[in-house]
Amino acid sequence: MNNTQLWRTLGRNFIISILLFGALLGLLWLIEWSVNAFQLSTFNFQLLKWHDPAWVVGIPASIIGVAYILTVRDPQNYTGFFAGIVMSILLGIQFLLQSQYDSAFLFFFVFIPFQLMSIYKWSRSKDDGGASFEPKFLDTPRLFLSVALLIFITAGDVIINLYAIHGALALNGWKEAVILLLNGFLISSSFLANYWLIYRKTDSWIYWFIYSIAGIGLFILLGNAFSIVLFTFFLVINSMAGIAWFKATKPENMGWLKKNP
């Protein structure tokens, strides 16, 4: 595809994302209205929190984020990373409003540079005859290194939240411990997913899958119904993209999944 076609694909995916989120928000509004109108709850049931600035910023961030994922599921389309940069800026602002400084730092100072690197590498690869368009799995040594990084970053985020950000926060039971752990996995998996996307590694979608599962678990514990629905939505989108990349990965590029002769 030429550049015009790539940008048209991004525009089409953006429209699809708007329609999907419009339907999702409409469904959630209908559920919220029904519960309150028929007095099915003893309190004011809320799924949509338009009074919360962080929540409002998260809506366009999520719409643009889905357009980003729908676009980069094609290993030839680098234009999705422009949407990824806008998404990262909005998510960084959202996390600042929520006082989640570790996540805000990650989006501003790690993910945006990663996405700029992806634009550079993916756009330049058009000049090499198309070989680097091919998605590949990591080899076995890099797989182990990647898993070790997942554990290391997760542990580091837990420690930072316990001591640096919250000032030697005492854990009150298993729930707070699991929340910290799931938040750590959210950070580490999104870091590795974005990093391996730069090099067109199919493994990146495994980390997007972990990211979605961790988000669902985290928001179940936090009691945030909207975010549970949102991350379930992400799980479906990321799984679809991961399956597309897996099917596009040639047998000789299966890396650690390659069968030994």
**In whole angstroms, what is the distance from residue 140 CA to residue 159 CA?**
29
**In whole angstroms, what is the distance from residue 198 CA to residue 201 CA?**
8
Contact (Cβ atoms closer than 8 angstroms) between residue 154 and residue 185:
yes
- Give the pLDDT of residue 168: 46
**Domain final residue pick, 131, 158, 193:** 131
Domain range spanning residue 172?
134-261
Both structure tokens of 131: 């070989």
**Domain final residue pick, 109, 131, 153:** 131
Scanning 73-203, the segments in alpha helix (DSSP H) are: 80-97, 101-106, 112-124, 140-159, 174-198
Same domain, 30 and 15: yes
Same domain, 10 and 60: yes
Please list, in sequence order, all residues whose beta carbon lies within 8 angstroms of the beta carbon of residue 251, skipping any fewer than 6 positions away: 258
Same domain, 99 and 159: no
Same domain, 148 and 202: yes
**In whole angstroms, what is the distance from residue 178 CA to residue 228 CA?**
16
CA-CA-CA-CA torsion sign (69, 156, 210, 27)? negative
Same domain, 67 and 173: no
Same domain, 127 and 2: yes
**In whole angstroms, what is the distance from residue 4 CA to residue 9 CA?**
9
Same domain, 108 and 161: no
Same domain, 207 and 250: yes
Same domain, 37 and 87: yes
Please list, in sequence order, all residues whose beta carbon lies within 8 angstroms of the beta carbon of residue 56, skipping any fewer than 6 positions away: 50
What averages of pLDDT result for each successive group of 10 residues across the chain (261 residues)? 88 96 92 84 80 92 93 90 95 90 87 93 68 83 97 92 60 78 93 94 96 94 85 92 93 86 53
Same domain, 72 and 143: no
Same domain, 79 and 125: yes
**Domain final residue pick, 95, 113, 131:** 131
For residue range 221-251, what is the model confidence (pLDDT) as tens digits? 988 888 888 899 899 999 999 999 999 999 9
For residue range 9-39, what is the model confidence (pLDDT) as tens digits? 999 999 999 999 999 999 989 998 998 887 7
**In whole angstroms, what is the distance from residue 231 CA to residue 178 CA?**
18
